[in-house]
A and B are shown apart, each in its own frame.
Chain A
Amino acid sequence: LDSKLTETEAPPAMIRKAGRHVSQNEGLIFEKSAPGKRGMELPPLDVPAVDPSHALGRESVREAIVGFPEVSEIEVIRHFTRLSSWNYAIDLGMYPLGSCTMKYNPRVNEHVARLEGLANAHPMQPAEVAQGCLRIIHDLQNSLLAITGMDAATLQPAAGAQGELTGLLMIRAYLAGKGDPRGKILIPDSAHGTNPASVVVAGYEVQNIKSNSQGQIDADHLREFVTEDVAALMVTNPSTLGVFEERIAEIADILHERGALLYMDGANMNALAGVARPGDFGVDVMHLNLHKTFSTPHGGGGPGAGPVLVKKILEPFLPTPLVVQKQDGKFALDSNRPKSVGRVRAYCGNFGVLLRALAYTLAYGPGIRQATEDAVLNAVYVRQHLEDYFDLPYDLPSMHEVVFSDARQKRNGVNTMDIAKRLIDYGFHPYTTAFPLIVPGAMMIEPTESESKEECDLFIDAMRSIAQEAETSPDVVKTAPHSTRVGRLDEVAAARKPILRWKP
């Protein structure tokens, strides 16, 4: 039924967002290679050529690289353009991945990142000829501090997970400075996987704590867990259910009473920017994901940046170097910070990502609140229109995302992954499946502020239509997608006998 449908018919009328068009076939670049071709030529050498075996020693010179590509410029362009056409992207439509905040990546950010004096700046050029870069970092620091209500920042961490690690190392250094580094970090069962993984890299032990029946941190029982060996609690707020932790200030107080600190995973800052500041509700240290809230492109998996923002008590422990403004107004890198946890990445981190995030905050100014309002409006609107079709395991008010479960569709043998794959046929990227772990069969939807009412309505129609299909023709859903170049791929075979590189 399905393959016939794919090849011979126009998409059914209920699929309104997407049609069909030809998808170019393309092999691997290695399979197109032929000796003597090349796609880039260099200016001729203007100094005497050197025999490499003379300069390096015969034993240090390599043979020609077997299988290395040899292709022309147009072949490279066609190859990667064809590949690109096999991807979904924000530039094509709504990308409702919960927790990932797939919002519009402004093009001006790409433009300014390529300006000659910025793109070609060397990280070791003296501060006197790096004032522009240093000011960009400084200006972004100030914007992020204003948005979060924190006191000091480092922009060095290369991604959210490295930000988590950096924050934890600072907690450790702070507590060790008081003579007791403690041994454990509390993590709710709704947390991102990076949280416990970062705890281990920081040399701490993870203690998982269960959420209450509402999916929130169990503030009533928290005291029992905050022993003298607990250094901090890592909380995501709003939680991965998209719900604000209403007792957050009380949670902070409980920790502080016992000498522990509150770490906030700022992955969901898109629900708060301009509306509320973590610095006001007791957070001691947090990270932001600039590739989420601050619009820098995900690029198929990265790069990101994970600035860490702290309260005054943790400032001495920030990684080195720090960008500081001197009395004369000039900017400088300060490495003379004896209590610092040290360096977490070479140079000044992912500067090109920082620059794009600054361009984003400059575009909004205080109006960033409007983005937050629209993000929450979209999520609540989508929730409102899907509540009658999908199970909502926790019904507290949603902020920027909503988490349904597949409980109703399961009765017909259709699970969250099936629904997600069927969304592809309707022209959408799937939502996040199987996360957070506290929701079996989770369907986590985050539209972001970048979606129009029209796009939200199309998505709602698609989800409702799939809910109906799950009742009437579950097999269509269970075997989706039907419109893609390849069907569901055999992941078990991929892991059992891994083929991780092309071979001649």
Chain B
Amino acid sequence: MRYLPKSPSERQEMLAAIGVQAVEQLFESIPEKFRLREPLPLPPALSEPEIIDYFKARAAENAPGYTSFLGAGVYQHHRSVVTDAMVQRGEFLTSYTPYQAEISQGTLTAIFEFQTLMCQLTGQEVANASMYDGSTALTEAVLMAERLTDRRKILVSRAVHPEYRQVLATYAKNLGLQVEEIGYTATGQLDLKAMTREKLAGAAALVVQSPNFFGVLENVGEAAAIAHSEGALLVTTIAEAVSLGIVRPPAEADIVAMEGQSFGIAPSYGGPFVGVIATRDKFVRQMPGRLAGQTTDAAGRRGFVLTLAAREQHIRREKATSNICTNEALFALVATVHLCLLGKEGLREMALQNIAKAQFALAELEKIPGVRRPFSGPVFNEFVVEFPRSVKLINAALMRERVIGPLAIGTHYPELTKRGLVCVTETMPRTEIEHFAASIRRILEAPV
């Protein structure tokens, strides 16, 4: 087998050296009745070309050559080939968690840069070395707020990504957290009027997403002021990180939980991505996850180490701030390389292009009779559209033209049937947007 570096005679030599005749003897500590006698019922081994063929066949069963208007937490953005070339260097790809700092300075330095970039983008003071993704980062941020406030009520905007809320519900259920949802208004934003004193009383955190699941920007400053008025923390989650290239950062938030997929990471059917938690310096000891910090060696040379580990499971076990161990370091590196390439101007330009494309698409769609925008709040690159017919029906027709249409959000919001979530990033050519609008017009004009 090509991955195994031993010849049959070397195996024999090694067995002889340890004084056993047959390799089976090495497994005698397993009670005999549990030792398998037959080979496992797995398909026969494949060579490299056969493995590639298998996956090419699977790729062809997906949606090759389709145009997609899906976003909803996973976004298609331009990625440079340089990023992948850097990340595929074996020294990054095949290294372990940098506990042995002297031979891990590459990874540690990159993590330190990642933490810095995340602070710069979010307007927060400290960011960790990554969480699994946006959904789990949000849950961890909420648990952090619970520890910081010693309160158990969590107020969550209904305009937070439904799958993020589902993950939070799974964790909250057994920890005695009481999660209450707050509605949205005609602008598609958090209903601030619903945030009464009674509602806020005893709350650990108010959770908002901006841009939210409807693509609408929230007023983070106002939400923070309201939360703080009753001693609650504001947790802000961001699923579309490119928005930070132009949108004012949630500096008033106490904890930011972000999905970094938009920073050069492929959609990859939902992962691996990179979650981020950023917060204020004073809360750092309640943060989950790894942190890289700067220090020096005996000769005074600058170096980086994993630090404040007294928060983590391998030191604190049941008293740790989280059970997270493995994180998404390689994808934090992707984000870091990508952001260094884009730079200050590139990120702003990318964000501006997203706004322009989304505004153009919105205008094209609004020209179609019966199509309207139900929410009036400002949007970044995603928006909800109301159609005169079911989204499912429209999508079935679009699929025949190799277009993956709007996400039907009625599945998650029963009151929002006939509404679809449309995402248009800088990667979508104008011609495709025009074709999309023309197709929808034709579909809606056709007799039912």
Indicate if the CB atoms of B317 and A196 lie closer than 8 Å. Answer: yes
Given the known A-B contacts A86-B105, A364-B1, are A347 and B74 also in contact in the complex, defined by CB atoms under 8 Å? yes
A453 to B18, CA, bound (A): 13
A347 cross-chain contacts in B, Cβ below 8 A:
73-74, 163, 269-271
Smallest CB–CB gap between A206 and chain B, Å? 4
Question: Are the C-beta atoms of A376 and B39 separated by less than 8 Å?
Answer: no
What residues on B are CB-neighbors of A453 within 8 Å?
6, 10, 13-14
The 0/1 profile, CB within 8 Å of A marked 1, for residues 221-232 of chain B is 000000000000
Is there an interface contact between A66 and B120, defined as CB atoms closer than 8 Å? yes
Residue of A90, A352, A493 touching B271 (CB-CB under 8 A) = A352
Within 8 Å of chain A (Cβ to Cβ): is B387?
Answer: no
Distance between Cα atoms of A283 and B155 in the complex (Å)? 39
Most chain-B Cβ atoms within 10 A of its Cβ — which of A60, A135, A452, A481?
Answer: A60
CA distance A47 to B51 in the complex (A): 42
Contact bitstring A104-133, B, C-beta under 8 A = 1, else 0: 111010111111111111111110111111
In the complex, the answer to whether B268 meets A159 with C-beta atoms within 8 Å is no
Q: Does B164 contact A (CB under 8 A)?
A: yes
Please report which residues of chain B, range 256-301, place their CB below 8 angstroms from some CB of chain A when the two chains form the complex.
266-272, 284, 290-299, 301
Identify which of A50, A86, A88, A132 contacts B352 (C-beta below 8 A): A50
For window 51-92 of B, CB contacts with A under 8 Å fall at: 51-52, 54-64, 66, 68, 70, 72-74, 76, 78, 80, 82, 84-86, 88-92
* B343 contacts chain A at the CB level, 8 A cutoff: yes
On whether A89 and B267 interact (CB within 8 A), knowing A45-B356, A76-B337, A136-B58, the answer reads no
Check B3–A363 contact: CB distance below 8 A: yes
A495 with B105, Cβ < 8 A, contacts A117-B62, A373-B23, A453-B10 known: no
| Total A-B Cβ pairs within 8 A | 678
> Which of B127-135, B178-186, B191-199, B367-375 sits within the interface?
B127-135
CA distance A202 to B446 in the complex (A): 53
| Chain B residues with CB under 8 A of A45 | 352-353, 356-357, 426
Which residues on the A side are within 8 Å of B41 (C-beta)? 146, 366
B329–A346 touching, CB < 8 Å: no
Report the count of interface residues on B (CB-CB < 8 A): 197
Q: Which of B19, B26, B27, B269 contacts A133 (CB 8 A)?
A: B269
> Which of B23, B176, B316, B359 is packed against the most chain A CB atoms within 10 Å?
B23
User: Which of A41, A169, A299 contacts B329, CB < 8 Å?
Assistant: A299
Instruction: Please tell me which stretch of A8-16, A217-225, A377-385, A464-472 contacts chain B, meaning at least 4 of its Cβ atoms lie within 8 angstroms of it.
Output: A377-385
A487, CB-defined interface residue at 8 Å? yes
Contact indicator per residue, chain A 364-375, by CB within 8 Å of chain B (1) or not (0): 111111110110
Question: A371-B3, A490-B295 are contacts. A48–B356 as well, Cβ < 8 Å?
Answer: yes
The reply to whether A104 and B105 form a contact with Cβ atoms under 8 Å apart is no
Asked if B293 and A494 sit within 8 Å, CB to CB, the answer is yes
Compute how far the CA of A377 lies from the CA of B270 in the bound complex, rounded to whole angstroms.
38
Once the chains bind, are A81 and B86 in contact (CB under 8 Å)?
yes
Contact with A along B30-50 (1 / 0, CB 8 A): 110011100111111110101
A19 adjacent to chain B (CB < 8 Å): no
- B298 with A488: CB separation less than 8 A: yes
Known: A86-B106, A197-B320, A397-B29. A110 touches B40 (CB 8 A): no
In the complex where A64-B348, A165-B323, A498-B291 touch, is A371 in contact with B4 (Cβ < 8 A)?
Answer: yes
Contact with B along A21-49 (1 / 0, CB 8 A): 00000001110010011111111011111
When distances are taken between beta carbons in the complex, the residues of chain B under 8 Å from A380 are 18, 26
Pick from B73, B301, B355: contact of A346, CB below 8 A.
B73
Q: Are B116 and A30 in contact (CB under 8 A)?
A: yes
Name the residue of chain B whose CB is nearest to the CB of A39: B341
Q: Which residues of B contact A194 (CB under 8 A)?
A: 313-314, 323, 325
Which of B61, B68, B430 counts the most A-chain CB atoms under 10 A from its CB?
B61
If A301-B326, A381-B17 touch, whether A366 touches B44 (CB-CB below 8 Å) is yes
Known: A89-B90, A193-B317, A363-B46. A303 touches B326 (CB 8 A): yes
Q: In the docked arrangement, what's the CA distance between A345 and B134, Å?
A: 9
Is A276 a contact partner of B342 (Cβ separation < 8 A)?
A: no
B303 in complex: contacting residue of A131, A249, A489, CB < 8 Å: A489
**In the complex with contacts A45-B356, A47-B356, A297-B326 CB distance below 8 A:** no
The reply to whether B62 and A429 contact each other, CB–CB distance below 8 Å, is no
Q: Indicate if B399 sits at the interface (CB-CB under 8 A).
A: yes
**Docked-complex contact B40 and A274, CB < 8 angstroms:** yes
Question: Within the assembled complex, what's the spacing in Å between the Cα atoms of A45 and B316?
Answer: 52
A24 to B74, CA, bound (A): 38
Cβ A365 vs Cβ B349 within 8 A:
no
Flag the segment in B96-104, B201-209, B435-443 that touches A: B96-104
Judge whether B430 and A65 touch: CB under 8 Å: no
Within 8 A of A (CB), among B421-436: 426, 429-430, 433
Max count, chain B CB within 10 A of own CB: residue among A77, A80, A248, A421: A80
B11 to chain A, nearest CB (A): 7
Verify A90–B132 contact, CB threshold 8 A.
Answer: no
A489 CB contacts on chain B under 8 angstroms:
101-102, 295-297, 303-305
Which residues of B, 220-259, contact A by the 8 Å Cβ criterion?
A: 244, 246-249
Q: Which of A39, A384, A396, A485 counts the most chain B CB atoms within 10 A? A: A39
Given A81-B89, A200-B323, A347-B163, CB of A499 within 8 Å of CB of B293: yes
Q: Is the CB of A28 within 8 A of B112?
A: yes
Let me know if B268 and A119 touch, CB within 8 A.
Answer: yes
Q: Are the C-beta atoms of A129 and B63 separated by less than 8 Å?
A: yes
Check if A414 is an interface residue, CB within 8 A of chain B.
no
Assembled-state Cα–Cα distance A146/B116 (Å): 45
Residues of chain B within 8 A (CB-CB) of A389 are none
Inter-chain contact A377/B14, CB cutoff 8 Å: yes
Among A92-100, A308-316, A404-412, which stretch is in contact with chain B? Answer: A92-100
Nearest CB in chain A to that of B320: its residue: A197
Question: In the bound complex, do residue A129 and residue B88 qualify as a contact, i.e. CB atoms below 8 Å apart?
Answer: no
Let me know if B384 is at the binding interface, CB within 8 A.
no
Whether the Cβ atoms of A484 and B11 lie closer than 8 Å is no
| Cβ B337 vs Cβ A80 within 8 A | yes
Q: Which of B167, B293, B302, B343 has the most CB of A within 10 A?
A: B343
Question: How far is B55's CA from A374's CA once the two chains are assembled, in angstroms?
Answer: 28
A186: Cβ under 8 A from any B Cβ = no
CA distance A153 to B30 in the complex (A): 25
Name the B residues within 8 Å of A116 (CB-CB). Answer: 59, 64
A437 CB to closest chain B CB (Å) equals 9
Check B31–A70 contact: CB distance below 8 A. Answer: no
Contact B429 A345 (CB under 8 A): no
Contact call B13/A481, Cβ cutoff below 8 A = no
Asked if B313 and A342 make an inter-chain contact with CB atoms under 8 angstroms apart, the answer reads no
Q: Is the CB of B175 within 8 A of A122?
A: no
User: Considering only CB atoms, which chain A residue lies closest to B423 in the complex?
Assistant: A122
| Cβ-defined contact, A65 with B323, below 8 A | no
**With an 8 A cutoff between CB atoms, is A450 at the interface?**
yes
User: Contacts of B325 on A, CB cut-off 8 Å?
Assistant: 159-161, 192-194
Q: Considering the chains assembled together, what is the distance between the CA atoms of A280 and B34 in angstroms?
A: 6
Whether the Cβ atoms of B271 and A348 lie closer than 8 Å is: yes
Query: In the bound complex, what is the Cα–Cα distance between A480 and B207 (angstroms)?
Result: 48
Contact (Cβ within 8 A) A495 B293:
yes
Q: Are B18 and A124 in contact (CB under 8 A)?
A: no
The answer on a CB contact under 8 Å between A169 and B174 is yes
From A491, which residue of chain B is reached at the shortest CB distance? B305
**Is A449's beta carbon under 8 Å from chain B?**
yes
The verdict on B190 contacting chain A, using a C-beta distance below 8 Å, is no
Instruction: Collect the chain B residues with CB atoms within 8 Å of residue A77's CB.
Output: 82, 85-86
Chain A to chain B contacts (Cβ below 8 Å), 29 pairs = A39-B80, A41-B346, A60-B247, A61-B246, A68-B344, A69-B343, A70-B345, A76-B340, A77-B86, A83-B107, A89-B93, A95-B96, A119-B268, A120-B266, A123-B271, A193-B325, A197-B320, A244-B30, A275-B27, A302-B329, A303-B329, A344-B167, A350-B271, A350-B272, A452-B10, A484-B102, A485-B301, A489-B295, A501-B119
- Give the 4 A-B CB pairs with smallest separation, nearest first: A347-B270, A299-B330, A117-B59, A91-B90
Add 9 more A-B contacts to A56-B380, A275-B30 (CB < 8 A).
A39-B342, A65-B121, A76-B82, A85-B106, A199-B318, A301-B107, A345-B135, A381-B14, A489-B303
